Amino acid sequence: MRITRTPRTAPTTRRTLLRASAATAAAGVLAAGSSSVGAAPRTRSATAARTTTPAAALKELAAGNRRWRTLRQRHPHETARVRGALASGQSPFALILGCIDSRVPPELVFDQGLGDLMTVRSAGEVLDEAVLGSIAYGVLELGIPLVVVLGHQSCGAVAAAVHAEETGESLPAHIQYVADQIRPAIVPGQHGEARVDATVSAQVRLVRSRLAREADLAARVAAGELAIVGARYELGTQLVHRVG
């Protein structure tokens, strides 16, 4: 992704292939295409052991999204006891890089509570140094085993980037910066809403790929300690599904 920072790209080696395989295997828990991420419901109690593997974290999110879209939300981990315990520290089991869209709050979409998710949000999931630093903090300092790049249907940031690319119009203030970062993901050969929708998924793939090339994150993936997964949320059905 074309941003001002030069990515620290790991060389293509057997180690690179191994870490890609590890990420793909863990991501398999999320269904491909339009299928559901649903799994047998499972909620951690406030005193349960922390989820520490990528596969287990994916299952937690799958169960939560199933509850959300079937209107069986539990709104876990909101009690006074949990709030008190969290005052002394945190151990989230997943980090969600999502869009700023008010219709896609990760804690609701995945039916998770206080201390469960670390969320980083920027328009169109655009990466910059602050976003990269926030993700690195969650993974390297807190040991989070799963990063999900979460795009969504009808993304306004993506639509603005597509419109600017097609018309040549400049967007106001810093919005142009966002559009410039999304531009490399714009899908050619399509038009209208279909082009915007295809670009939403392409942007998720591009951002996920960029994160996977970050040396410190790639080392965790290679060791089986981290998975970086692309997904998108459908506003109409409330379904989260994998973007491969």
pLDDT tens across 22-81, in order?
Answer: 344 444 445 544 344 433 333 344 434 678 899 999 999 999 999 999 999 999 999 999
237 confidence band (pLDDT: 50, 70, 90): very high
196 confidence band (pLDDT: 50, 70, 90): very high
Containing 57, the helix (H) or strand (E) segment is helix 54-69
Type of residue numbered 220: R
SS3 state at 109: helix
Note the pLDDT of residue 30: 58
| Beta strands across the sheet bearing 240-242 | 117-121, 94-98, 146-152, 227-233, 240-242
Structure tokens belonging to residue 65: 């999204």
Residue appearing with tokens 């399509």: 190
For residue 124, which of 100, 148, 154 has the smallest C-alpha distance? 100
Radius of gyration for the alpha carbons in the chain, expressed in angstroms and rounded:
18
Span of 14-23, 41-50, 174-183, 203-212 with lowest mean pLDDT: 14-23
244 confidence band (pLDDT: 50, 70, 90): confident
